[in-house]
Amino acid sequence: MSKKHIDFIWTDKKRTFLGLPISFTRYFLTDKKIICRTGFFNIAEDEINIYKITDKKLTLSLGERLFGCGTITVFSRDTDTPKMEIKHIKKPYEVSEMIDKEIDEERDKYGIRGRDMIPGHYCDHGDGDLDHDGLND
């Protein structure tokens, strides 16, 4: 069984004491997914498809700022992983921009817009009647 070669756009380890990458948590960004791999003996991988990301948040605690790190929280429509924290990474602003760029590219490729990511959106037909999911009763 051969492994497929994956091109990573970005990868980093979770930083610990003094911003050092002494951790068994690694993050990967590809053109299609964000992957979080944890563990040493037993490895677990969690991933979110880029186009399913609905929002993200960047937090910078005092300790993280002292060592040039930050945490990005990603919210998605993924059923297994509706929220993923990319904790204590270097250059969080640049990584956040990379994620935005990949989201835009994937959504453009599949023709997905923001309104398509909202469950049960409402449609206004101009006559004041709102239909749930754009369907007429």
Report the half-sphere exposure of 53 (CA within 13 A, side-chain side).
27
Q: Note the pLDDT of residue 132.
A: 46
38-47, 75-84, 120-129: least confident range:
120-129
Residues 100-119 pLDDT 10s: 999 999 999 888 876 555 66
Stated pTM of the model:
0.79
pLDDT tens, 20-37? 899 999 999 999 999 999
The pLDDT tens digits for 39-76 are 999 999 999 999 999 999 999 999 999 999 999 999 99
pLDDT of residue 19: 87
Q: Identify the pLDDT of residue 91.
A: 96
> For residues 54 and 124, which has the higher predicted lDDT (pLDDT)?
54
Domains recognised in the chain with CATH numbers: 1-99 (2.30.29)
What the block records as the tokens of 54 is 């609905």
- Pairing relation of β-strands 69-76 and 44-49? unpaired
Contact 26, 37 (CB under 8 A): yes
Residue 122: its pLDDT value, please? Answer: 47
Pairing of strands 33-38, 25-29: antiparallel
